[in-house]
Amino acid sequence: MVTPLRGEPAPLGASPGPDGVNFSVWAGAAREVELLLYERVDDDAPRRVIALQPHRHRSYRYWHVFVPGLRAGQIYAWRARGGPSGGDGYGRDDEKVLLDPYGRAMVRPAGYSREAARRPGRNDAVACKSVVVDTRRYDWEGDAPLRRPYAQTVIYEMHVGGFTRHPSSGLAPQRRGTYAGVVDKIPYLRELGITAVELLPVFAFDEQDAPAGLTNYWGYAPMSFFVPHGGYSQCGGGPRVLDEFRDMVKALHRAGIEVILDVVYNHTAEGDERGPTFSWRGLDNDTYYILEGEGRHANYSGTGNTLAANQSVVRRMIIDSLHYWVREMHVDGFRFDLAAILARDEQGRPLARPPVLFDIETDPVLAGTKLIAEAWDAAGLYQVGHFPGESWKEWNGQFRDDVRAFVRGDSGLVRRMADRLMGSPDLYGARPREPAQSINFVTSHDGFTLNDLVSYNTKHNEANGEDNRDGTDHHLSWNCGAEGPSTDIEVERLRGRQIRNLLAINILSLGTPMLLMGDEARRTQHGNNNAYCQDNETSWFDWSLVQRHADIHRFVRGLIKLRGLRESVRDAHPLTLAELMSLAQVQLHGVQLARPDLAHDSHSLAITAASLSGDLRMHFALNAWWQPLAFQLPALPAEAVGGWRRVIDTSRPAPHDLVDPRHGEPVEGATHTVAERSVVVLFAAVRPTAAMAGPLSGI
């Protein structure tokens, strides 16, 4: 047996070379560290144990060793013993098999057990393990991140598994719910018109981190920050997963679609001090997590633990992970789950200039990468409108809430709705931000689907096994007169109109629009607004809905095309929000021109704007009142061609709800009546060469 060599502390993880593999890990709390080498993933003991010697295999708190003769494909893990937290009852177990925090591939035994990782004692046969992999062995064929401007971006938030797992997807069984399944559905994504997919977590996660008998579906339970989730691969795990993920990214890029990952750097699947030991807890519990005394875990994430993101070792791990996904996996951007947690120090206190956030923002490798913050956390830190840094875009939760409330008919919202339509200047206007600063959304994975938002007054989460206590009660929904599915024609007519209202406002407002998977086909979760543990038809995309609700699907495609035609923001115009508002000649109205009604009981608003090219005038009229209203129309310039034409009217049945602007019905007179609970959009060409003259095929 070849004698192990000293090895090097950098790079971290397992690095294969022509003569063997270098292993390096941070284990700051350990007195003894062992490298475990396995033949098979379900072996109950390692084939070889290499005990690292502190005087030879440790540099500061990095433990490292070079093992001659090893190759890519070797299954391995770590074991760490002793230290300030070892054996003290605060969540550390010296006998546990530990994943490499920098491992690039992972295998999961058929008998994997989260419970065994929580109980005292060894768990070799039922523990996940790392695999040595050479990430350089892949032909990208010239692929690179697309770097599409936000002004040209329409985001589609989707779940890799749920997108194609339903039998109605039409895919072969082995491709359903996989990265390959996403590739098969690229023509659908292109036809819809989206330009970026935002994938729910694809870092390897613990599917058993869920109530008994259920499965963690969403994936917000990371077991690694470097490994693609094996459950979305056709092979089920191991090094091949990397190629399947990269094949998906390459195919999406060829179709002009960016890949944004929903990343979870605020907590791990290890839970609180009573939870399992997978990796970080066993290597250095005190370094990786925010603790509150006597080993108790701070819980700003709402999931049991909180990573100490601004601790130097953890900061480096986060940056290294981001570098890996950009350099080696070619992703285009990241949406940071509960990003406000990254603004907390090692004691959990909010920081004015959080080191990890500014490390990310100023990193040259990440320059040009999309950075999107969910600017709040589960402990009440809410930073929408003032998230630290300059380049971060934000999920605009205020947009979601205000649009929902206005459309359902709540009072006191006209002033706020005007701001939401105009890119939220009340939130972002104080700093020189681009109009796309706000990520506008009405629905996301967390909460009701769009169909359910207009079909349920209350959540129905009984299937989650928590007596309907889980999930938010602040959903601002309205069932339009009947709870759940309805055969009442008038209820369904109103629901369809409300769906169109919400979609039109979301897609045509200034900002970067985001759609939830399946909303374009009225996907339902049957009132479940917290389907994190429903890996079944509750959450999966039922593809038969695309045909069943072809009218809504067509409406969404048309809205996205109109958004591009609008040409309100172009990459050639690097404008701030304030500059755009001036150049676009934005004017606010009520039912009377230039007199917006901001009274508490007002439910109407109109906006007029011009495209930056000057070719097009647009007039938006919103009536959330339960009676029709006559809106005065603004005069057009003398050079206008043909007057106002009605392009969108959400009160009209398909296909008259959205038409090609060339075929829009002329609007005569000084006023136009907008039906109750409706949105109307008028276009007018200012010159014969106007952009409006271009066809919108497929509408």
Q: Is 649 a catalytic residue?
A: no
Distance, in Å, from the CA atom of 586 to the CA atom of 620, rounded to the nearest integer, reads 11
Residue whose token pair is 């480096």: 316
- Which residue among the candidates 284, 374, 434, 567 is catalytic per the annotation? 374
Query: Which helix (H) or strand (E) segment is 284 a member of?
Result: helix 280-288
* Three-state SS at 663: helix
Distance, in Å, from the CA atom of 480 to the CA atom of 522, rounded to the nearest integer, reads 15
Query: What's the Cα-to-Cα distance from 678 to each of 110, 137, 604, 657, 675, rounded to whole Å?
Result: 54, 55, 10, 10, 6
Query: Which helix (H) or strand (E) segment is 324 a member of?
Result: helix 312-327
Query: Cα torsion for 68, 72, 77, 78, to the nearest 10°?
Result: 40
Query: Cα torsion for 372, 374, 377, 383, to the nearest 10°?
Result: 80
For the packed helices 414-421 and 397-408, what is the interaxial angle rounded to 10 degrees? 130
Would you call the peptide bond into 11 cis, given omega within 30 degrees of 0 as the criterion?
yes
* Three-state SS at 215: coil
**DSSP states along 423-448:** T-HHHHTTTT--GGGEEE-S--SSS-
Q: Is 43 a catalytic residue?
A: no
User: Rg of the Cα trace of the chain?
Assistant: 27
Classify the C-alpha dihedral 409-415-421-426 as positive or negative: negative
Contact 694, 565 (CB under 8 A): yes
- Which residue among the candidates 337, 402, 434, 657 is catalytic per the annotation? 337
> Which residues, 6+ apart, have CB-to-CB distance to 469 below 8 Å?
none
> Which residues, 6+ apart, have CB-to-CB distance to 422 below 8 Å?
509, 510, 577, 581, 586, 607
Residue 38 CB coordination number (10 Å)? 24
Residue whose token pair is 């749920």: 162
Distance, in Å, from the CA atom of 451 to the CA atom of 348, rounded to the nearest integer, reads 38
Contact 388, 353 (CB under 8 A): yes
Give residue 412's region: left, alpha or beta (phi > 0; psi -120 to 50). Answer: left
Q: Active-site residue numbers? A: 337, 374
